[in-house]
Amino acid sequence: MDIKNKNPIGLRTRYLMAIDLVCIVISIVLSFIIRIEALYDIWPYLKKYWTLFILAPLVRIPVYYLFHLYKRIWRYASTSELASIALSGVIGSAIIAIINFVLLPILNIPHCISGSVVTLEGILSTIFLGCSRFLLRLLQERIPPDEVPDSLFLTQNRRRILIIGAGNAGAMISRMMKSYPSVQESRIIGFIDDDPSKLSMHIHGVPVLGTRDAIPALVKKHHINEAIIAMPSADPDSIDDIYHICSTISLPVRTLPSIYDLLAGSMTFDQLRQLRTIDDMGYQISKPHEKRPIKLTSLMITGGAGFIGSNFVHFMLREHPDYRIVVFDKLTYAGNLDNLQGLKGKYGDRYVFVKGDICEYSKVADVIQHYKIDSIVNFAAESHVDRSLMNPESFLNTNIYGTYSLLRAARHFRVKRFHQVSTDEVYGQVTRGSFSEEDPLETRSPYSATKAGADLLVHAYRTSFGIPVTITRGSNNIGPYQYPEKVVPLFILNALEDQILPVYGDGLYVRDYQYVIDHCRGIDLVLHTGESGEIYNLGAGNEVAAIDLAKMILHYLKKPESLIQLVADRPGQDRRYSLNCMKIKTLGWTPKWTFEKGLEDTINWYLNNEWWWRKLKNAEYWKFYDTQYKERLSKK
């Protein structure tokens, strides 16, 4: 492995050159000793053939340099390094021979007349060169003196790892772990390999314990608590099989990126970073098991005429050309056929719209049957927190009873996947840190309570009836087609029309805003590759306070900050939401939109689509607006 070094003669290089110089001199002296077969007679020869002591280093060290022997990381030395050592030795010897036997005699300069001494010098120099480099590697690989004893690994529940694949990748991981004294928390207990010839062999001192069938027994026997699949070029079926074996015994598995991803250059930045972590830590997750996506054909998207639902419909029709998308939506004030405009013309029968209420089981069942629905993605909900404070009943109906009705249908028709679109609000507020999927649900508004209820129901259907379900808990979305009751479109449209931007309380309530297409990408990924029964947090980590959001929007639209007015707070408002999204990232999701780009795209969309939002500012809207803001705005 080469490393780029702007200073070619750095300290390390100088040390190595000094070692090589000593080795060359020793080689010459030894060559004479061997040739003459007497130690005491050596001095006259050395004096006579002194040119060899100048010539050999002058030739060899530049040759070694040209072969990058001063720029390699010897810790990772392999056969390619061995070949370079041998080749540089041979080429150096050839040049020395030509100069010694041809050039020096022509120039009448004293030279070594013994061919065997010159040959021996070449052989010994090359052997010493190889030994010095592999000695370096041995020193770097030495086991740290303060290594944790095996008994401690058992008592303290540290990582005891099984590497599946006793090939190059497995050996690499094992070697790296040994090279890094900092990896005290982990120990490789053994290798698994299906090649019987490798059984009971050792790699870097670690035994090959058995084939994949033996995994459950070995895990029990050796108290293994983690497996790493080190088979970068294995076919997906083998990986699936191993993954299945491990999941039946609840053994966490990690894997390296596939060799094809590496070669195709299709690895994401995130994965590369994780790969670097292997370099840095000697052991770490790279890319967890990339499951083969489940195959779907006919999807029912409930709430598909709303904000996120409609973006998802556009996204899925675009991304999955062989899918039929059936939108099932009640068309409440938040549902809008304009959001789906043009889809019939563009996609023909692949797109179907059905008006219906998810609470109405018979209608849901008819649609599933008629369109041979094999998966349901449930966006349908009453979604505005402020409205849930005014009229909680519709939230209970749609968000809980409606979800029940869909689950009932999913069970009856045995759909391949039921995906519930949930929210970060189910965790309640968090003042410090971030919520992960295992955290308890501590809802504080009627809206979030109904969403949490739905999540629990979904989970219960998985446990009780084996329905294959997944849940995503998303943070606040921004983007096209959002009804202007939510903060971002409300602030944009108010700013455009020089109206007050009502900021609740002290304005320091923090939300994590993500661009809606990133949310759709995450749902698509979980739908196809998420583990059944699992919950995935889904947020971009853009934590912004409402007051800052208002200022950014005004700044972008070149409107004065005097349009901001702090108004009476939303009762029981959550101070801050924050999600830990590691789990979905291990499936391969990362947001593509930065907050700034997402906000800019959103503002521009509203600027360019007045036809869409102007109609929404109707009597119904102003009725809601007055109820919500009139009194607040009148109190300065």
Partner that binds at residue 487, options ligand NAD, ligand DAU, none, CB closer than 5 to 8 Å by kind = ligand DAU
CA dist 315 → 310, 320, 365, 377, 488 (Å): 8, 8, 25, 13, 22
Catalytic hit among 347, 371, 447, 513: 447
Q: Could you say which of 24, 239, 301, 490 contacts ligand DAU (CB under 6 A)?
A: 490
Tell me the number of residues near ligand DAU by CB under 6 A.
19
> Secondary structure of the chain: what % helix, strand, coil (to 5)?
55, 15, 35
Partner that binds at residue 502, options ligand DAU, ligand NAD, none, CB closer than 5 to 8 Å by kind = ligand DAU
CB of residue 483 to ligand NAD, shortest distance in Å: 5
Partner that binds at residue 308, options ligand DAU, ligand NAD, none, CB closer than 5 to 8 Å by kind = ligand NAD
Residue 365 and residue 411 in contact, taking contact as beta carbons nearer than 8 Å = no
Helix (H, G, I), strand (E, B) or coil at 409: helix
Partner that binds at residue 208, options ligand NAD, ligand DAU, none, CB closer than 5 to 8 Å by kind = none
State which of positions 572-611 bind ligand DAU (CB under 6 A). Answer: 577
How many residues in total does the chain contain?
636
CB of residue 624 to ligand DAU, shortest distance in Å: 11
d(CA 84, CA 68): 8
- 160 vs 451 by CB, closer to ligand DAU: 451
Partner that binds at residue 302, options ligand NAD, ligand DAU, none, CB closer than 5 to 8 Å by kind = ligand NAD
Nearest to 206 by CA among 230, 173, 231, 236: 173
Binding of ligand DAU by 385 (CB under 6 A): yes
Binding of ligand DAU by 407 (CB under 6 A): no
Binding of ligand DAU by 284 (CB under 6 A): no
Partner that binds at residue 206, options ligand NAD, ligand DAU, none, CB closer than 5 to 8 Å by kind = none
Residue 627's identity, in one-letter code, is T
Nearest to 537 by CA among 447, 599, 463, 455: 455
Helix (H, G, I), strand (E, B) or coil at 356: coil
What sections of 71-227 are H helices per DSSP?
79-98, 104-106, 115-140, 150-155, 168-179, 215-222
d(CA 413, CA 79): 59
Helix (H, G, I), strand (E, B) or coil at 257: coil
Helix (H) / strand (E) element for 45: namely: helix 42-48
Nearest to 228 by CA among 170, 177, 280, 268: 170
CB of residue 567 to ligand DAU, shortest distance in Å: 7
Residue whose token pair is 């309380």: 505
Q: Could you say which of 88, 423, 443, 542 contacts ligand DAU (CB under 6 A)?
A: 423
Partner that binds at residue 330, options ligand NAD, ligand DAU, none, CB closer than 5 to 8 Å by kind = ligand NAD
Where on the chain is the footprint of ligand NAD (CB under 6 A)? 302-303, 305-309, 329-332, 334-335, 357-359, 379-383, 398, 402, 421, 423, 451, 474, 476-477, 483
Partner that binds at residue 398, options ligand NAD, ligand DAU, none, CB closer than 5 to 8 Å by kind = ligand NAD
Binding of ligand DAU by 455 (CB under 6 A): no
Binding of ligand DAU by 509 (CB under 6 A): yes
Catalytic hit among 121, 374, 424, 485: 424
Q: Could you say which of 72, 160, 511, 585 contacts ligand DAU (CB under 6 A)?
A: 511
Partner that binds at residue 176, options ligand NAD, ligand DAU, none, CB closer than 5 to 8 Å by kind = none
Active site residue 425: yes
CB of residue 485 to ligand DAU, shortest distance in Å: 6
- 242 vs 516 by CB, closer to ligand NAD: 516
- 296 vs 478 by CB, closer to ligand NAD: 478
HSE (side-chain half, CA atoms, 13 Å) at 79:
1
Partner that binds at residue 226, options ligand DAU, ligand NAD, none, CB closer than 5 to 8 Å by kind = none
Nearest to 386 by CA among 572, 519, 236: 572
CB of residue 458 to ligand DAU, shortest distance in Å: 16
CB of residue 308 to ligand DAU, shortest distance in Å: 9
Residue 249's identity, in one-letter code, is I
Q: Which residue's Cβ has the minimum distance to ligand DAU?
A: 423
Q: What is the DSSP string of 336-350?
A: -GGGGTTHHHHHGGG
Binding of ligand DAU by 543 (CB under 6 A): no
Secondary structure of 472-528 in HEC code, one letter for each residue:
EEECEEECCCCCCCCHHHHHHHHHHCCCCEEEECCCCCEEEEEEHHHHHHHHHHHHH
Binding of ligand DAU by 178 (CB under 6 A): no
State which of positions 82-101 bind ligand DAU (CB under 6 A). Answer: none
Active site residue 361: no
Q: Could you say which of 27, 476, 542, 578 contacts ligand DAU (CB under 6 A)?
A: 476
- 96 vs 469 by CB, closer to ligand NAD: 469
Q: Could you say which of 229, 256, 380, 503 contacts ligand DAU (CB under 6 A)?
A: 503
d(CA 239, CA 257): 12
d(CA 345, CA 341): 9
CB of residue 574 to ligand DAU, shortest distance in Å: 8
Binding of ligand DAU by 546 (CB under 6 A): yes
CA dist 134 → 110, 260, 317 (Å): 36, 32, 58
CB of residue 4 to ligand DAU, shortest distance in Å: 46
Residue 534, strand partner residues: 470
- 85 vs 308 by CB, closer to ligand NAD: 308
Nearest to 480 by CA among 260, 308, 618: 308
Residue 345 and residue 351 in contact, taking contact as beta carbons nearer than 8 Å = no
Which token pair is 12?
């390390």
CB of residue 629 to ligand DAU, shortest distance in Å: 7
Q: Could you say which of 84, 125, 383, 434 contacts ligand DAU (CB under 6 A)?
A: 383
CB of residue 523 to ligand NAD, shortest distance in Å: 9
d(CA 275, CA 280): 9
- 458 vs 546 by CB, closer to ligand DAU: 546
Binding of ligand DAU by 486 (CB under 6 A): yes
Cα 423–chain centre separation: 22
HSE (side-chain half, CA atoms, 13 Å) at 437:
20
Which token pair is 577?
């939401």
Helix (H) / strand (E) element for 553: namely: helix 546-556
DSSP 217: H
d(CA 28, CA 515): 71
Catalytic hit among 20, 357, 425, 518: 425
The binding site for ligand DAU (CB under 6 A) comprises 383-385, 423-425, 475-476, 486-487, 490, 502-504, 509, 511, 546, 570, 577
- The catalytic site residues sit at 424-425, 447
